[in-house]
Amino acid sequence: MNTHYFIALPIQQHLRKTLEEIQMKSRLALFKHIVYPEDFHITVAFLGGADERQLAVLHEGLLKAAESMQPFTLEVEGLNYFGSKVRPRVLYADVKRSDQLDKLHEEIVRICQVAGFSQKESEYSPHVTLAKKWHDPTKEIKPNWPTLNCERQVVSSVNLYQVAPDETPRYKGVATYEFTTK
């Protein structure tokens, strides 16, 4: 299998702890994969497989972009799902969109395209996955997810991750690109 990469915002310890508590209060046994708290992140762009040239171009682009970015605060509030309400494919914590987050996403998509990565033209849906892959299609749940009140975190960097599917945690940080603080 080809090594896959993605670009994401890391989750700070205080938010990671809150999301882990939400996982423990939720009925997640019917999901095949419960996300390990060290793997929590907010995906900005999925890259898939990459060669050395693509990674070098990406690295240079991310360095320049980080120099022009300022830290910003994002908000995570509420739980949501992709797929059926009674058999969700993904359970996630909802990340509120903001101008700064949208600007970061647009810039990173542009950098990925310059580096030769195909980026799908779909609406950006920032979130933190808590569980995925419904386990038993014959079973349904009555969703009664715990409440996730508004949590804030400062975003001061973006990371390049490598996927290691047979390891725990399964996402390995390859590089961190710190934003400029003025």
Q: Which of 41, 59, 105, 135 is catalytic?
A: 41
User: In this structure, are residues 160 and 61 in contact, taking their beta carbons and an 8 Å threshold?
Assistant: no
User: Would you state the structure tokens that stand for residue 75, as one six-digit string?
Assistant: 């908000």
Other beta carbons within 10 angstroms of residue 10's beta carbon come to 20
Look at phi and psi of residue 29 and say left if phi exceeds 0, alpha if psi is from -120 to 50, else beta: alpha
The residue annotated as part of the active site, out of 14, 59, 127, 135, is: 127
Give the strands of the sheet with 127-134, arranged side by side.
31-34, 127-134, 88-95, 72-83, 151-155
Would you give the DSSP letter of residue 105?
H
**Separation of first and last alpha carbons in the chain:** 43
> CB under 8 Å to 39, separation ≥6 — which residues?
169, 170, 171
Q: Is 127 a catalytic residue?
A: yes
14 among known catalytic residues: no
Residue spans of alpha helices (H) in the chain: 13-25, 52-68, 99-114
Contact 37/20 with Cβ under 8 angstroms? Answer: yes
Active site residues: 41, 127
